[in-house]
Chains A and B, each alone.
Chain A
Amino acid sequence: MAQFLEQIINGLVLGGIYALIAVGYTMVYGIIQLINFAHGEIFMFGAYFAFVCVTTFGMSFWVALPVSMGMCALMGMLIDFVAYRPLRNAPRLSALITAIGMSLMLQNLARLIWGARWRKFPAEATPTVLTGNTIPLPGGAQVSFLDVFIILLAVSLMIGLNRLIHLTKIGKAMRACAQNRAAASLMGIDTNRVITVTFAIGSALGAVAGVMVGLREVTEPAMGYYKGVAAFAAAVLGGIGNITGAMLGGVVLGVAEALGAGYISSEYRLAIAYIIMILVIIFRPSGLLGKSTATRA
């Protein structure tokens, strides 16, 4: 029982991280129908930005986190501005290939700047509140503060995002753009501004995930690829373009991965998660919460 509880928590932490990255994919897809493959790299840069803030500039972790979010938001906007905006009215394949190119370029840029070595947050820079404490659970199980913090942070950011989309003016504009960008533009919505804000929000959330993975696991140039692919799968599983779906997809994938590794076979850890995704896609081609009608694909 204790083991099961711990595995569920492992899955939820992983799921929270996937969800934070997945909303970035899904928000951009919802508005401009682009799979932004460079999003995984923004996540990776998020981890590196925090790492540099902490090691080179000696910032506290709690300062480094928002700084990294801000830098990634800027980076997301910049990528949209230089790479995707010129192709806004080009065939979708052009933008997709540009996204793949951007992803490769950013990954190798990180390798050039920081090297291929794995970087661990220095022990003195990690907040001891998070890493030094554990919470005992019934049945002898225990969970680290960091894991609880990641779950709570992911949940609160998701709620915040949901409120932003549904209660604010820019959220309304985003929903309008997702429904029909041309019509939204005719109604006087500055669609380019909406797209920029979308990239900024998605990237900032990706940065949070990056910093958390950097703190809990490790920072390395290829991390954006591995976690990015899993998060993209989560977005598809939940129904791409649907923000609640991306959150749900992330959690389902994370829990499936942890339980699969814990109870079936750790050799097929990712395979089990992807088999579940494929099964869902077979029976619900538009994902768990996706619209049943064909999108404008």
Chain B
Amino acid sequence: MKKNRLCSTALVVIFVMTFVMILGFALTGCEAKNEIKVAVAGPFTGSIAAFGEMIKRGAELKAKEINAAGGVNGKTLTLVFEDDTGKDKEASLVAERIASNRQILAVVGHFNSNCSLAGKPIYQRAGIVELSPGSTNVNVAAGSEWTFRNIYRDDFQAAFAAKYIKNVLGDIQKVAIFFDNDDYGRGLKDSFAAEAKELGLEIVGMEAYDRDNTDFKAQLTSIKAKQPDLIFLSGLYSQAGLIVSQAREAGIPAQLFGADGVDSPDFLTIAGDAAEGTYVTTPFVFRLDDPKAQKMAIAFEEMHGVAPDTWAALTYDAVDMIVEAIEKGGENRKAIRDHLASINSPEKGYDGITGLTYFDENGDCTKPAYVKIVKDGQFVPAAEQMLGME
């Protein structure tokens, strides 16, 4: 009798479980039919959240446009935003979460070089594409056939910056470097120092800082004693903003020159008046004579109420590249990778708003760099550019 009851209870349990599972499968099946999921990973909170904000907005605009035009193969494009806070520890957790979600077909991100590097082995193991719109460290894409980026590498950017300083700015002899002690800041500093020496510039000092720090007076005092003509900022906009304002407070008259990590509208609010006259190198500028970029800028302002920045534009393109790979390659992780890998010559290149993107065997790409200057509290393209330097 007792045994019988146990049997019937077990039967009911099995029955209910089977029912739930069938229902579950049916539901996910429905979802998979009508939806294409792509992850966007970046620093949406933390000390460099302004980057994340623009990345998110750029991706949202692209998704809106794609869905308004009928979606991807007739399905809705859904973006899954994952916050890595710009820290590698957090990025590897995010990468594990994305990789284990089979519904997600590809990743746009990560933004920071240290985060892309942390995610790389995880995405490689899981076999999912990582397309970074912002990581410039030399080692980000090499060594994994699943990692790509639609931005130049730091060795190119550093050489470009050093040449610009030497050839365009003129009468700069002594250069000091202030670098963020992470993969981006250190890698860029090394490349820059090597190139600057080659060009005959004298490196008079190199000072490091940690991302968490907000007081740079001690390092600036050391730099001040060496009387550099120019300080190269190898780091991100928030710390760079403080460094610039504290440098002026400390009475350092040197020209300030940042790399693309400084290229964010928030640099201007943090640095205030001290930002005036600062140069930055950047992978993209919105030019008035570029109809595609202008169209995107207008749509962006309409949707979000602010002007887009460089990172919104690069993310906008990156999302589109993934969508194109899904449409032309197929709706699985491997097909997306194969399609991206096949974009390996200028003829096959993807022509987005940030220029032509095509990958070499590492997944790196060759794109031009530009120079911006802060004028009247705004980033504007510098009068003199140095294009055609590859």
Contact = CB atoms under 8 A, between A and B. Distances in A.
A138 B269 CA distance: 34
B266 A269 contact: no
B124 interface: no
B273 interface: yes
A278 to B, nearest CB: 19
Contact of B218 (A123, A142, A262): A262
Q: How large, as a class, is the contact surface on chain A?
A: 35 or more
Contact of A116 (B47, B217, B246): B47
Interface string A207-227: 000000100111010110010
Contact of B210 (A3, A6, A270): A270
A144 B249 contact: yes
**B contact patch SS:** helix
Interface in A218-274: 218, 220, 222-223, 226, 257-259, 261-263, 265-267, 269-270
B347 interface: no
A163 interface: no
A267 B181 CA distance: 7
A7 B270 contact: no
A117 B50 contact: yes
Interface string A106-131: 00000100011110100100000001
B62 to A, nearest CB: 24
B9 interface: no
Contacts of B47: 116, 118, 220, 222
B204 interface: no
A266 B179 CA distance: 10
Contacts, number: 95
Nearest to A3: B225
Contacts of A201: none
A267 B241 CA distance: 19
Interface residues of B, number: 34
Nearest to A229: B212
A204 interface: no
Interface in A66-95: none
Contact of B221 (A7, A115, A131, A257): A7
B253 to A, nearest CB: 13
12 contacts: A7-B218, A116-B46, A118-B242, A120-B269, A144-B250, A218-B242, A222-B47, A257-B218, A258-B217, A263-B222, A266-B208, A267-B208
9 closest Cβ pairs, A-B complex = A261-B218, A217-B214, A267-B208, A116-B49, A258-B218, A3-B225, A116-B45, A10-B217, A266-B207
